């Protein structure tokens, strides 16, 4: 029998023709909004951000396991612990015409010392002990970031919540006057944990 390889688009069309299933019932061209509560960490002079996300990668997950002996055999059983294989997330978003979103993210990065490698005592952040980091308020500059999957009618379908986030890296932006495409920017956050859930609102 000859092997048949179909692209996802061809497969959807084929299913639609042969079985009558609706071709619009599959996830494609998803829309995402990232919500960053900057007002909670930078003060009321800043607005909470809603970024039009063009690209991000959902972190891989593994279920923890342990080996046990059973009737002379070694069995692997789950430990009910879900571990994310990475604690970083890169988000690419469309920059607004007034660049207010980029400026706000930059202010957040400054507040947690990304662009200030030395402390007033002349020590790097890595040289400070944990108690000094706590008293410096660095944990107050962390926040939870929510990414919402939207329907074509802008209804929130699914929520991806990343906890205790802080900006770790800003990517470059190519400033080309001749380029008429929308400008995008990418930044990477570090986080402690993430959950996937149905949105509460």
Considering the domain boundaries, does residue 110 fall inside one?
Answer: yes
Considering the domain boundaries, does residue 2 fall inside one?
Answer: no
Q: Which residues contact 12 (CB under 8 A, 6 or more apart)?
A: 23, 26
Considering the domain boundaries, does residue 9 fall inside one?
Answer: no
Considering the domain boundaries, does residue 52 fall inside one?
Answer: yes
Q: What is the rounded distance in angstroms from the CA atom of residue 92 to the CA atom of residue 185?
A: 5
Per-residue pLDDT of the chain (201 residues; tens, 9 = 90+): 444 444 555 544 544 454 455 556 677 778 999 999 998 888 888 889 999 999 998 888 778 888 888 888 898 888 766 666 668 999 999 999 999 999 999 988 888 764 444 455 555 555 555 445 554 567 788 999 999 999 878 888 999 999 999 998 889 998 888 888 999 999 999 998 888 988 776
Residues of the domain holding 62: 29-197
Considering the domain boundaries, does residue 17 fall inside one?
Answer: no
Tell me the pTM.
0.71
Count of the separate structural domains present in the chain:
1
Q: What is the rounded distance in angstroms from the CA atom of residue 108 to the CA atom of residue 142?
A: 9
Give the CATH number for residue 167: 2.30.110
């Amino acid at each position: 029998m000859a092997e048949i390889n179909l692209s996802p688009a061809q497969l959807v069309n084929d299913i639609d023709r042969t079985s009558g299933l609706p071709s619009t019932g599959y996830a494609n061209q998803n829309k995402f909004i990232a919500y960053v509560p900057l007002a909670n960490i930078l003060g009321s002079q800043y607005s909470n951000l809603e970024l039009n996300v063009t690209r991000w990668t959902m972190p891989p997950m593994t279920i923890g396991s342990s080996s046990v002996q059973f009737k002379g055999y070694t069995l692997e059983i789950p430990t009910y612990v879900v571990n994310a294989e990475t604690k970083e997330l890169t988000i690419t978003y469309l920059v607004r015409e007034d660049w207010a979103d980029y400026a706000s993210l930059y202010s957040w990065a400054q507040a947690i010392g990304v662009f200030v490698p030395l402390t007033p005592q002349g020590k790097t952040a890595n040289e400070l002990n944990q108690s000094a980091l706590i008293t410096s308020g660095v944990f107050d500059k962390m926040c939870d970031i929510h990414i919402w999957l939207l329907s074509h009618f802008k209804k929130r379908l699914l929520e991806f919540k990343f906890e205790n986030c802080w900006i770790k890296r800003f990517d470059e932006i190519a400033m080309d006057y001749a380029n008429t495409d929308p400008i995008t920017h990418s930044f990477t956050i570090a986080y402690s944990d993430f959950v996937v859930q149905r949105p509460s609102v």
